[in-house]
Amino acid sequence: MSDKRIAIVTGAGQGIGRETSVVLAREGFTVVCVDMNGAAAQETATLVNGIAAPAMDVRDEAAVAALVAGLERCDVLVSNAGIWKFTSLLETPVSEANDVLSVNVVAPLIWIKAVAPLMAKNGGGSIVHLTSVAARAVASGTGIYPASKAGVIALTEQAAVELGPMGIRVNAVGPGRIETEGTAGRTGGNEDSLIGASAIALGRWGRANDIAEAIGFLCSPQSSYITGQVIWVDGGLTIGTNDYLRHMRTSKK
Ligand SMILES: NC(=O)c1ccc[n+]([C@@H]2O[C@H](COP(=O)([O-])OP(=O)(O)OC[C@H]3O[C@@H](n4cnc5c(N)ncnc54)[C@H](O)[C@@H]3O)[C@@H](O)[C@H]2O)c1
């Protein structure tokens, strides 16, 4: 078996997933880059000297199984791919809610089922999920997204309990407002933006690298006794509850 540790990153084509691939490659992992945008996955793989998976939907159980079957080992899984839609609950179509829940909650389960046996064969590993501050301080007009990210926390805790005896740690990172391709056009830095930087204790939106470094820590031996936890990486957004909520209530969508 190869000595080189393997990390799978989903949603690796851009944003937090691409930056996570960079950090994990720096830490010595061979990174398998997964995205529904195959060209973007290939670009990240080239950037980090990793492996591009064929374009796939993270919910495609057969494609996930085929990918994992081709790996000799798997030490790390970062289930990062996620989607969100801006609708009030009353205007959220059930089909859209199902879509968000299946990408954000069911897909991480599919990946856990696929990689856990392979990780266990080699003594264990680390799985990291992406939750969101939306699970902690709900913003109106974000459809089923907050519920999906709250679900991610419960999934993380349950997986930590069930996989712990296999030597597999399962944690989550909870980003605040992070500038990525996915949030382009809504980013902070000025008070005219949808959510101004003044609502954030550290006074700025986060960068993808801020999240990637926390993920890197959870994938490293430095976190070997941490499981079932969420690390909130939000610049203090959710501890300033009053300001945050006041801001959210007065913000125009
Ligand atoms: N950016 C933020 O402010 C923020 C805040 C909280 C949580 N998050 C979470 O962090 C994660 C990454 O966010 P981001 O801003 O980098 O997103 P992004 O939209 O910039 O990138 C997401 C990537 O995932 C891929 N993807 C989406 N659905 C997929 C699917 N079904 N199958 C395969 N690939 C798929 C996309 O092609 C894209 O490359 C998400 O889970 C998101 O919910 C982000």
Residue 211 CA to ligand 1 centre (angstroms):
12
Instruction: Tell me which residue has tokens 């691409």.
Output: 18
Residue 35 CA to ligand 1 centre (angstroms):
10
Lowest mean pLDDT across 7-16, 114-123, 194-203, 239-248 = 239-248
* Residue ranges of domains in the chain, CATH in brackets: 6-186+207-236 (3.40.50.720)
Q: Looking at the predicted structure, is the pLDDT value of residue 248 above 80?
A: no
Ligand 1 atom, smallest distance to 130 CA: 41
Q: Residue 226 burial (CB < 10 Å; 0-12/13-18/19+)?
A: middle
Element holding 121 (H helix, E strand): helix 107-121
Residue 2 CA to ligand 1 centre (angstroms):
30
- 60, 61, 83, 152: which to mutate for ligand 1, most atoms within 8 A of CB? 83
Residue with CA at minimum distance from ligand 1 atom 23: 11
List, by residue number, the catalytic residues: 145
Q: What is the C-alpha separation between 172 and 159, in angstroms, rounded?
A: 11
Mean pLDDT of the chain: 92
b/e map 19-32, b = 16+ CB within 10 Å:
bbbbbbbeeebbbb
Query: pLDDT for 85-134, tens place per residue?
Result: 999 999 999 999 999 999 999 999 999 999 999 999 999 999 999 999 99
Element holding 116 (H helix, E strand): helix 107-121
For the whole model, what pTM was predicted? 0.94
Query: pLDDT for 212-227, tens place per residue?
Result: 999 999 999 999 999 9
Residue with CA at minimum distance from ligand 1 atom 13: 16
